[in-house]
Amino acid sequence: MNELLIRRNPVFAALEADRRKFYQLWIQEDINQNSIADIFRIATQREVAIKKASKKLISNKAQDNRHQGVLLEAGPYKYASIEEMIILAEVREEKTFLLVLDLLHGPQNIGSLLRTAEICGVHGVILQDRRAPDITPAVVQYSAGAAEYLLISQVTNLAQSIDELKALDIWVVGLDIDEEAMNFGSVDLDLPIALVVGHEGSGLRRIIKKHCDFLLRLPMRGHTESLNAANAGSILLYAAWQARGFNGI
């Protein structure tokens, strides 16, 4: 089933990543051409059919008037394999750096975390294919297009996939609020690593906790009970990136 991508960053990212099949690019007829020059250029390079239309027509087609003057009709999101992620780490000559989502819900939460993951250079993201959301156009939009650049894998059994990672000497670190979890900063994150972030409300499932090598919790000083999953996961991703030699340049 075809998908409709809107807004400039997601549309540009999809075209640049070139992992989908493209059918039609709709451009608002009275839009400032300079504002979409990069989109027009890369769509032309990809030989995508381009059609101009009124803002109203594009809004009706997208069922959303926040499209920023562009709408891309494309094929479904293309998922990757875990093997591709391992190969990517090898090609980059880097220690494996993965993000695992344990039934995290909400396109805004998922999209925000994927955006951070892409910024931090993760080699891939793993999520369960049942009881968990797909990478929908809404997720792509909230990720500001970052999802299009990432290798994302859907697996049937998340616990089993975690065990497969451990067999490859990848350390699995879960983020949790459990009192038994280790204090943030007590584990060396400069390792081949998979960071696991759980559901917004209930956190990691018990079975997933059992399969993690370590559980970490973020220290909290103020009155707020906890950070949301996307914010907490982003902090852990940046900490892992810093541990691996990020120097702010």
Q: Where are the domains of the chain?
A: 3-74, 82-243
**Count of other CB atoms within 10 angstroms of residue 11:** 30
The total of other beta-carbon atoms located within 10 Å of residue 17's CB is 15
Q: 164: which residues sit within 8 A by CB, 6+ positions away?
A: 82
Pairing of strands 182-183, 124-128: unpaired
Per-residue pLDDT, 226? 64
| pLDDT of amino acid 173 | 94
Q: What number of residues does the chain have?
A: 249
> How high is the pLDDT of residue 225?
59
- Per the listing, tokens 């609020």 go with 177
C-alpha–C-alpha distance, residues 119 and 181, integer Å: 27
- The pLDDT value recorded for residue 249 is 45
Q: Show the CA angle centred on residue 137, arms to residues 48 and 118, nearest 5°.
A: 90
The model's pTM: 0.92
Q: How far apart are CA 47 and CA 66, in angstroms?
A: 26
CATH class of 82-243: alpha beta
Along the 249 residues of the chain, how does pLDDT read in single tens digits?
Answer: 789 999 999 999 999 999 999 999 999 999 998 999 999 999 999 999 999 999 999 999 999 999 999 999 999 999 999 999 999 999 999 999 999 999 888 899 999 999 999 999 999 999 988 777 899 999 999 999 999 999 999 999 999 999 999 999 999 999 876 667 667 777 889 999 999 998 766 678 999 999 999 898 776 665 555 678 888 899 999 999 999 887 554
In CATH, what class is 3-74? alpha beta
Residues 6+ apart with CB under 8 A from 233: 99, 113, 116, 175, 195, 197
DSSP assignment of 84-131: HHHHHHHHHT---EEEEESS---HHHHHHHHHHHHHTT-SEEEEESSS
Q: What is the pLDDT of residue 201?
A: 62
